[in-house]
Chains A and B, each alone.
Chain A
């Protein structure tokens, strides 16, 4: 239950949470999250189902605001700004902190319009064609689709759709990209492509990724937070961070027995 926030990154910190408790109504979904997410690194959240890793991720771009009963205690700082301060506009937050979802969810529009959607919202005045090309190249999708930009994004394969969603997120030039199990609906080859892509993307962006796949976390991430879940006497299950450290430490010499058991595949 200890967090290693103090021992963590020397690099610039993008997110810092302080005693974060997340509630749905009176139900405590996640408790005591105090971590720092470093800039230009890939941070992975792993843990068994229902441990709240996605919930924490969705706090970072205030996507949980859409759920009525949701509220938090504690603080989340984004570059030292309090994300949940009353004068923060969640729409502005989401423009800087992009998100890729578990199911590839391209809009039922052309590939081009999928990418251009975000920049158009922001009133992008530059060369849209160039931006679309650059975003697709960064997402390693350009060669697959350059001759069919006018075709529906929904007609692509699952792996291509997910890279389209990544390109769409990149197009608004965010600071951070949050990924909520981005490969869980993909086949192994598409998964590898996305993982390779992550390594390129971290040059420019800070990435936080939730994954069920431990090989993925160990292959692709720099930092790993292991979440677990415990039930109270009423049977309500509350998630918490067991351990957060460099990925090698989590996978090779974790301090907690639960982490050791999880990463070696003994439960979860």
Chain B
């Protein structure tokens, strides 16, 4: 009779006791973690809030079509800067995407463990850590001084240097993530290394590579330092561009316009935010909103691409 009672008394109650030190500590830590997360969100939401409130007020379709106002005047827009950002980013993409992907293919598929691979990896890491102002200075020395003028090309080259490490790294990871079974299957069927890479490995890795490229583009579009003294600024339309569609000439733009100083959104925001005139400050807010939206659209597109892949 004794032993069952004894056994029962040794089993502790399993009821929740809110006042026990362990439960208290756990609750407090949960609250602290929640608070930290909320605090971390404040700057982000504040940025978006201010940009939205101030930007929306001065945003109108006409800002995409008109030129920045002369100091003291009102109205105007940043049509040239919007196109300037698009074209510098496109130039950058045209340079960095082929180099980045081919470089990644070498690293992931052909380099193996060679010394060259190690060095490329090392310098890619170094490059991704180089401050963007230094990249701007490099493009200034390498392109602007040589060609004797600020230009969209110089800005594009600076941005390309900035995008390259991101693209190389994400593309290398994407290629390395392709199951080796695919490679074996292709090689077992008598494909050469090159055919295997081109027809099997690369297509499987494309969604992830596109993601990397989009992120690189989103980052490049918002960069100010590299375009500050490479693309510089222009209050007018570049040759070949105009408000009047009749005067738009892609050929002139590609042969002349890209070699002229070019306004970009980030540089416009930088200049106008600190300008003493209200019209320009308002344009800076609108420009900031457009930049944020561009980055947001890129992120959403990226997610869309990733989701379609799965």
The residues of A with any CB-CB pair to B shorter than 8 Å are: 61, 63, 66, 68, 91-92, 94-96, 98-99, 101, 103, 105-108, 117-118, 121-122, 165, 168-169, 172
- For the complex formed, measure the closest distance between the CB of A222 and the CB atoms of chain B, giving whole angstroms: 24
A63 CA / B190 CA spacing, docked (Å):
10
Q: Are B186 and A117 in contact (CB under 8 A)?
A: yes
Q: Are B184 and A105 in contact (CB under 8 A)?
A: yes
9 extra A-B contacts, CB within 8 A, seeds A91-B190, A91-B191, A117-B199: A63-B184, A68-B112, A92-B190, A101-B181, A103-B181, A107-B200, A118-B190, A118-B191, A169-B189
Q: Are B112 and A107 in contact (CB under 8 A)?
A: no
A99 CA / B195 CA spacing, docked (Å):
18
Q: Are A95 and B184 in contact (CB under 8 A)?
A: no
A92 CA / B191 CA spacing, docked (Å):
9
Q: Are A94 and B182 in contact (CB under 8 A)?
A: no
| B window 190-238: CB within 8 A of A | 190-192, 195, 199-200, 203-204
Q: Are A94 and B188 in contact (CB under 8 A)?
A: yes
Q: Are A66 and B189 in contact (CB under 8 A)?
A: no
- With both beta carbons as reference points, the residue of chain A lying nearest to B178 in the complex is identified as A108
Chain B residues closer than 8 Å to A105, beta-carbon distance: 179, 181-182, 184-185
Known: A117-B199, A121-B195. A107 touches B182 (CB 8 A): yes
Those 5 A-B pairs whose CB atoms lie nearest each other, nearest first: A95-B190, A105-B181, A99-B188, A118-B189, A94-B190
Q: Are B188 and A121 in contact (CB under 8 A)?
A: no
Chain A residues closer than 8 Å to B192, beta-carbon distance: 91
Q: Are A172 and B190 in contact (CB under 8 A)?
A: yes
Pull 10 A–B residue pairs with CB atoms less than 8 Å apart, ordered by A: A66-B184, A94-B189, A99-B184, A101-B185, A101-B188, A107-B185, A117-B186, A165-B185, A168-B185, A169-B189
Known: A101-B184, A105-B182, A117-B199. A172 touches B189 (CB 8 A): yes
- With both beta carbons as reference points, the residue of chain A lying nearest to B200 in the complex is identified as A107
A70 CA / B187 CA spacing, docked (Å):
17
Chain B residues closer than 8 Å to A61, beta-carbon distance: 188
A98 CA / B189 CA spacing, docked (Å):
6
The residues of B with any CB-CB pair to A shorter than 8 Å are: 112, 179, 181-182, 184-192, 195, 199-200, 203-204
Q: Are B188 and A98 in contact (CB under 8 A)?
A: yes
- For the complex formed, measure the closest distance between the CB of A179 and the CB atoms of chain B, giving whole angstroms: 11
- With both beta carbons as reference points, the residue of chain A lying nearest to B113 in the complex is identified as A68
A215 CA / B203 CA spacing, docked (Å):
40
Known: A105-B179, A107-B200, A108-B204. A121 touches B189 (CB 8 A): yes
Chain A residues closer than 8 Å to B182, beta-carbon distance: 105, 107-108
A94 CA / B179 CA spacing, docked (Å):
20
Chain A residues closer than 8 Å to B186, beta-carbon distance: 107, 117
- With both beta carbons as reference points, the residue of chain B lying nearest to A113 in the complex is identified as B199
A139 CA / B10 CA spacing, docked (Å):
66
- With both beta carbons as reference points, the residue of chain B lying nearest to A92 in the complex is identified as B190
- With both beta carbons as reference points, the residue of chain B lying nearest to A117 in the complex is identified as B189
Chain A residues closer than 8 Å to B190, beta-carbon distance: 91-92, 94-96, 118, 121-122, 172
* Residue among A63, A108, A172 with max Cβ neighbours from chain B (10 Å): A108
A106 CA / B181 CA spacing, docked (Å):
9
Chain A residues closer than 8 Å to B184, beta-carbon distance: 63, 66, 99, 101, 105
- With both beta carbons as reference points, the residue of chain B lying nearest to A99 in the complex is identified as B188
A101 CA / B189 CA spacing, docked (Å):
12
- With both beta carbons as reference points, the residue of chain A lying nearest to B181 in the complex is identified as A105
A68 CA / B188 CA spacing, docked (Å):
17
- With both beta carbons as reference points, the residue of chain B lying nearest to A168 in the complex is identified as B189
- For the complex formed, measure the closest distance between the CB of B117 and the CB atoms of chain A, giving whole angstroms: 13
A121 CA / B187 CA spacing, docked (Å):
11
- For the complex formed, measure the closest distance between the CB of B133 and the CB atoms of chain A, giving whole angstroms: 43
Known: A68-B112, A107-B200, A117-B199. A63 touches B187 (CB 8 A): yes
- For the complex formed, measure the closest distance between the CB of B254 and the CB atoms of chain A, giving whole angstroms: 37
